[in-house]
Amino acid sequence: MSIAKRKELEKIEMHKRILDGARKIFLEKGYEQTSIRNIASEISYSPGSIYFYFKDKNEIFHELHKEGFRLLLKQMKAADVIEDPYERYKELGLVFIRFAQHHTDYYNLMFLVSETGKARGEGFETAKEAIEHLSGVIQQCQDQGRFQGLDNKYLTFMTMSSVHGICSLYCKDRMSGFFQKSGEELMLHGYETFLGMIDKS
């Protein structure tokens, strides 16, 4: 292994080290409460070092953002074993809900944290893939005769909105107080109610 090669590996390793430290703190404290100094001290480096590997705090954030989408997409694709498209459609919502439940911090990072950076639209390929996956499953349902007369795009958007709305209210925990039910209960029964409606279409 050449020296140049080793150096390159070391660079990648350091990149990863920063990301590991950042992930820990980001998922623990959220975007605003995470500071470059926190991350630096977590991995026992000086704050300045981080800027040798990342342009700014936002770039680190976006890396984790992508990471989250990759994780979600993986779990969405796991539902591919279900053969019936409509059953798969219903499962996809549950995948989303489970993701919000078990990876609440990722969910916050992915969907709820406001982006301070301007680099919008970049690095959203995985997000796009996730949407297209859902859209594809809905198309398969429509091919089977379900959801007749409904536009695929709007139905996809509406499904996403509804499930995201449920998960988003769950993650912010703004609702359980009003309804005197646990967040999990609301989320699951809310989704069941949604499926009950959609089942009649």
Partner DNA sequence: TTTTTTATTGAACAGTGTTTAATAGGTTTG
Partner DNA sequence: CAAACCTATTAAACACTGTTCAATAAAAAA
From a second copy, DNA, none, which one binds at residue 48 (CB under 5 to 8 Å depending on kind)? Answer: DNA
Residue 56: CB minimum distance to DNA, A = 3
Q: Which CB, 49 or 58, lies closer to a second copy?
A: 58
d(CA 114, CA 194): 27
Residues making contact with DNA (CB under 7 A): 3-4, 6-7, 10-11, 14, 34-38, 44-49, 51-52, 56-58
* Residue among 94 and 175 whose Cβ is closer to a second copy: 175
- Using the minimum distance from each CB to DNA, give the nearer residue, 36 or 137: 36
DSSP 18-47: HHHHHHHHHHHHHHHH--HHHHHHHTT--H
Query: How distant, in Å, are the alpha carbons of 20, 45, 95, 114, 193 from that of 199?
Result: 43, 55, 18, 34, 10
Q: Which residues would be at the binding site for a second copy (CB under 8 A)? A: 30, 32-33, 108, 111-114, 116, 120-121, 124, 127-128, 131, 150-151, 153-158, 160-166, 168-169, 172-175, 177-179, 181, 186, 189-194, 196-198, 200-201
Partner whose binding site includes residue 58, from DNA, a second copy, none (CB under 5 to 8 Å by kind): DNA
Could you tell me which residues come within 8 angstroms of residue 107 by beta carbon, excluding any fewer than 6 positions away?
Answer: 68, 99, 100, 167, 171
Q: Which residues contact 122 (CB under 8 A, 6 or more apart)?
A: 62
Q: How far is the CB of 21 from DNA (least distance, A)?
A: 12
Contact 30, 108 (CB under 8 A): yes
38 binds, among a second copy, DNA, none (CB under 5 to 8 A by kind): DNA
